[in-house]
Structure 1
């Protein structure tokens, strides 16, 4: 470690490699006078070992996690501090949870929380050899315990930084859109990145595909909150732009390569599904499945969640997709805030109808995620009758997902929200409506 000014240790977990690779992509092309080294800690023990090996060199340990993982990662942090530490070690948490709950993050044991997009903040920290003074995008406590907030980091054009880390040979699905105009009340994305679309340009996407092919990679996948929104700033898809982009990617990755669009890790909004769009996917892409976001079978709940579509659009999307030869996976969230018995039955009816069509349900339990308008809602409550019906669909092979585990996460998130109340927030989500058979 002789001659180094700074060591960056990443608590490197599979669940958050996308975010880390974006940070390293920015760092890899950044010119700085700071002499630094990057280490990857793929376990608690390996992370601690890297910290110990840094010796007296200033060490910045980078963490990124989603809200459901916050409690488990706080335990990991405590273990690592017991195994390795010192006055020159700073633990910095980033990602959607740290952005939404910086005080909670600091109280859980991290030294600093990164607020907002992390690329420019990390570059400034590297230039400053880890000193946070005067750097935007951070929250931390000074020597007297006072909370210091430096505001959100400046948002940059997606074309400014690579979407993966060429210098470290770390690749992932390519982020082509950041932010989302729909601002659904349960989703963290628009409230971290702003409720607007920021797209990577066609030329920049093609550059990434060319880099992948040059390194022998053959599969192109995309990260986007809503796949068919690429290239537009409105609610209407621009299919001409989509076709130009997919055609360029297909050409770029070569005859042995494959392009995947509208499948994991992205999805398509139901009202965007059309025969023309599906046939573009079939023409240029390798995926035989598409993910459609429905979330509820109740128009009342969908309206309250600000989804921007109704149940009929979901049914139509599934039917069109199946007719065009795709396996349709439909995201649904059970235990949404304010649901009454009729809303629950509407969702179960939709799930059964979609399963009968040949679609699969990707089941979730509602989690009150920090940073969202529904942060203070009660945790998803899935009643026994609903659980039995979901289990029946699962045994048919018509439903999958980690909805049971999410029920536990939801309870923990709600307890954390109670411990860190937001003034002026009401827990009333939907108006009380009598069940239909009670009228």
Structure 2
């Protein structure tokens, strides 16, 4: 477009493309008098070039989306971009910006988007990039006065498309947003509220039909807990799940494939049943499932408010393997209050499940902003547990980035210790370096739980 009023530069990183896609999907259906142009900037250099090119004729918004472990590295990149290409307005979104909006501003961003970002972006575009009066933002005006406009309004999940057609950038379809399981380590229920919002089967099918028309053949889903689709509470709704999967299989056609309960989502252990897996086998192509266990200690599971016990994990793995699936089990080491007996119980469970044929996806607890455990001590693992975990990894029974996460956890905890509180002076400390294990979706555990809106995905 020649002479646009507004240029939207997406700092488009591989780890967080889905959030940008959702925003573009909302924007492509939105009538506005603002003439805008969208630029995908896939590197720091490309971002600088896009800002410099736009500066001659239009206002520029640079849209960023990231998780808490990414914040420090991106803040450094932001400073380099600002030095090389001044004049743009940098807007940060995602779970970190929602949980730590003022720290996000202090790190150099001009605006922090709080909560779900679709309507926020639409309003920003309508106002030519002016944040005044727009709900869902935190920013400082020219006099340095801090403005908080609250979280953006939550819309029904089907209100906006799951991906944009204009740019032909497909991604897994978000079928559920929010989560009734308010696990104390997870950012999702505290960003999107502790209840489910589901995309209707008809709306999902519309997306599948468009995917098929564009030559796509694989259908995947984003959801914090796969077998909760269609449910209002903890009880699975298998009829709704089957209706969804049957429609998707029909829509994608004979040459297509549907994946459910695998990357980038998971199944809660207490939801695993023979009946549920027969539904998955009937309609889906995946031969593997991801089960969120998190700990082998009953005491730790209860403290984390996981909502299931250890036996549920054992049962889930046995059922899954008996039904012919390869099972991947998420486990977090070093959760708050975990003592040597708890760690031993987790290791014992991991070894037991590996013996049954499961693979363990290991994590180390990270105190993430916006969660009840944001101020907890970073996860650590004692030397004996490290040796045992390493042996499992050498046997091919364990995978993950837990060693990197140990360092990230310490850095997050250091940042939390310096977080301003009443009676304390403000000292800014960088957050952790990024860990690009995409399936974590910005949190511990398996599911893509930090999804939607400006949220990084």
Question: Is TM (by shorter chain) over 0.5?
Answer: yes
Aligned counterpart, 1:79:
80
Match of 1:378 in 2: 377
TM (normalized to structure 2)?
A: 0.91
Residue equivalent to 2:455:
none
Alignment of 1:176-255 (within 5 A): 176-255=175-254
Query: In the TM superposition, what is the alpha-carbon distance from 1:411 to its structure 2 partner?
Result: 1.1
Alignment partner, residue 298 of structure 2 = 299
Q: Counterpart in 2 of 1:270?
A: 269
- What is the distance in 2 between the residues matched to 1:378 and 1:322? 36
Shift of 1:422: 5.0
Give the superposition deviation at 1:82.
1.9
SS in 2 for 1:167: coil
Q: Report the RMSD for the aligned CA atoms in angstroms.
A: 1.0
Kindly provide the CA deviation profile for residues 131-180 of structure 1, in whole angstroms up to 9, marking residues without a partner as x. 00000100011222221101000011111100001111111000000000
* Other-structure match for 1:432: none
* Alpha-carbon distance between aligned partners in 2 of 1:304 and 1:421, rounded to the nearest angstrom: 27
> For the residues of structure 2 that align with 1:396 and 1:204, how far apart are their CA atoms?
44
Unaligned runs of 5+ in 1: 425-439
Q: Residues 11-42 of structure 1, C-alpha deviation per residue, up to 9 Å, x if partnerless?
A: 00011111110111000111000000000000
Q: Deviations over 1:294-348 (max 9, x none)?
A: 0000000000000000000000000000011100000000000001111010000
Determine whether 1:350 maps to 2:349.
yes
Post-superposition shift, 1:194?
0.4
Q: Which residue of 2 aligns with 1:5?
A: 5
The reply to whether residue 149 of structure 1 matches residue 136 of structure 2 is: no
- Does 123-132 or 55-64 show the bigger shift? 55-64
Task: Give the structure 1 partner of residue 116 of structure 2.
Answer: 117
Partner of 2:411: 412
How big is each residue's C-alpha offset from its partner over 1:88-124, in whole Å with a ceiling of 9 and x where there is no partner?
Answer: x100000000000001101111001000000000000
Deviation at 1:3, TM superposition (A): 2.5
Q: CA deviation at 1:2?
A: 4.4
Distance 1:339 1:421, change over 3 A: farther
Deviation per residue, 1:62-84 (Å, 9 max, x gap):
00001110111111111111221
1:208 shift after superposition: 0.5
Alpha-carbon spacing, 1:423–1:287, altered in 2? closer, same or farther (3 Å): farther
Q: Runs (4+) of structure 1 moved beyond 2 Å?
A: 421-424
SS in 1 for 2:166: helix
Shift in Å at residue 421 of structure 1? 4.3
SS of 1:40's partner is: strand
For residues 368-389 of structure 1, the C-alpha deviation after alignment (integer angstroms, 9 at most, x for no partner) is: 0000000000110111111111
C-alpha displacement at 1:423, in angstroms?
5.8
Q: Which residue matches 2:434? A: none
After the TM superposition, which residues 151-166 of structure 1 pair with which residues of structure 2 at under 5 Å, given as runs?
Answer: 151-166=150-165
Say if 2:39 is the partner of 1:39: yes
Q: Which residue of 1 aligns with 2:22?
A: 22
CA displacement at 1:4 relative to structure 2: 1.0
- Secondary structure (helix, strand or coil) at the match of 2:306 reads coil
Cα separation, 1, equivalents of 2:163 and 2:2: 29
Mapped to 2, the partners of 1:147 and 1:23 lie a distance apart of 25
Distance 1:142 1:404 in 2: 42
Q: For 1:363 and 1:265, how far apart are their aligned partners in 2?
A: 16
Q: 1:312 to 1:421 in 2, by over 3 A?
A: farther
Question: What is the alpha-carbon distance in structure 2 between the residues aligned to residue 422 and residue 238 of structure 1?
Answer: 44
- Which residue is 1:431 aligned to? none
Question: Where does residue 51 of structure 2 map in the other structure?
Answer: 51
CA–CA separation in structure 1 for the residues paired with 2:206 and 2:318: 36
1:339 maps to what in 2? 338
Separation in 2, partners of 1:421, 1:131: 29
Under a length normalisation based on structure 1, what TM-score does the superposition of the two structures give?
Answer: 0.95
Structure-1 separation of matches of 2:72 and 2:141: 24
